[in-house]
Structure 1
Amino acid sequence: MTELKKGYVQIYTGNGKGKTTAAVGLAVRAAGNEYNVYMVQFLKGSSTGELKSAEKLAPYFNIFRFEKKRGFFWTLNDEEKAELKLEIQKAYDFCCTVLKERKCDILIMDEVMGALHNNLITEEQLLQLIDLKPENMELILTGRNVPSEIAAKADLITEMKDIKHYFDIGVPAREGIEY
């Protein structure tokens, strides 16, 4: 089993396509080198290709979800939002435990910035979580609109920038390509 000597905090952000895809690409590479990767997905309840891929890369790549399937955040009523917030808190607590107990080599918190911007977790919580990262563990955060204090704690930030996108001409998300 390979072990990281030094782990960093990486952030994949921006309005462009590819944040989750970049994180999954890193996970596939790491799993191929026998690193243990956990990906916790926030605000994602439907079936996606990465779930199927992770099954094939087990035990090295595991995806965890804590939310039940429901619509987009902006379509939820207050009761559904409260329920979602509890589920997000369980996911956050799981991530804290993973870091404290170093249960993997690489922890990916996919779309955690979306959870932050929808007030499902706080910036303070995310800053505290980053501080829990062991020296020999990688932490990857994805999502748009990274607050400056969180950005300051990162070692690497990659911004995905929309230059041209077929969504703009009405092409819907495609299975195997966007999800």
Structure 2
Amino acid sequence: MKKGYIQIYTGNGKGKTTAALGLALRAVGRGLKVIMIQFLKGVDSGELHSAQRLAPEFTIYRFESSHKFISDMSDDELAQLRQDISRGFDFSKQVIQGNACDILILDEIMAAIHSGFINVSEVVELMRSKPDNIELVLTGRNVPDEIADLADLITEMKPIKHYYDKGVTARKGIEL
């Protein structure tokens, strides 16, 4: 890729990860290599199985060892999660430095920031160090201004209507 941009998918609506996955699917179809690093996602989900079918052109990495919600974790589990997320973010820096893919997706990186696991300044530094030929995609709610300022594209997912409000929980193959 000659020129890679920085894209952000944000907002309170459903579809941020799905948009990034759609981009990944399109890219793999055109012969590009995609790496997705998911933060704070511990449950089994369909994209993991799809990526296995598209490997080695598309790979998803998760570094967290716990599958609990942050609010349900003990202090020891939170300390472990902090280390896991740090390893994941360090890996994203290695991917950037090694020019290891055409598209790097940092899924739910904003949640990792807002949960206090990654500093905004670290993400800004990563964004600034991105080689020109890598497309960088960041997802998650509440994008800090310093990150938004460096983005080339920001799409906000806005909820209009959602079946979750009627009590429908996450469904296998749709949300999971």
Q: Into which bin does the TM-score normalised by the smaller protein fall?
A: over 0.9
Q: Do residues 109 (structure 1) and 115 (structure 2) align?
A: no
Q: Do residues 126 (structure 1) and 123 (structure 2) align?
A: yes
Higher mean C-alpha deviation, range 62-71 or range 23-32 = 62-71
Q: Do residues 77 (structure 1) and 74 (structure 2) align?
A: yes
Q: Do residues 169 (structure 1) and 166 (structure 2) align?
A: yes
- 1:43-122 to 2 correspondences below 5 Å: 43-122=40-119
Misfit runs of 4+, over 2 Å: none
| Structure 1 letter corresponding to 2:172 | E
**Unaligned stretches of 5+ in structure 1?**
none
* C-alpha contact (below 8 Å) 1:12/1:141 kept by paired residues: yes
Q: Do residues 37 (structure 1) and 34 (structure 2) align?
A: yes
- Please report how far the alpha carbon of residue 69 of structure 1 lies from its aligned counterpart in structure 2 after TM superposition: 3.2
**Unaligned stretches of 5+ in structure 2?**
none
1:19 matched residue in structure 2: 16
TM-score (norm 2): 0.98
2:142 matched residue in structure 1: 145
Q: CA RMSD in A?
A: 0.7
Please give the secondary structure, in 1, of the residue aligned with 2:123.
Answer: helix
CA distance in 2 between partners of 1:79 and 1:38 (Å): 30
Please give the secondary structure, in 1, of the residue aligned with 2:175.
Answer: coil
- Please report how far the alpha carbon of residue 82 of structure 1 lies from its aligned counterpart in structure 2 after TM superposition: 1.0
Count matched residues.
176
Identical residues among aligned pairs (%): 57
CA distance in 2 between partners of 1:74 and 1:55 (Å): 31
- Please report how far the alpha carbon of residue 103 of structure 1 lies from its aligned counterpart in structure 2 after TM superposition: 0.4
CA distance in 2 between partners of 1:53 and 1:20 (Å): 14
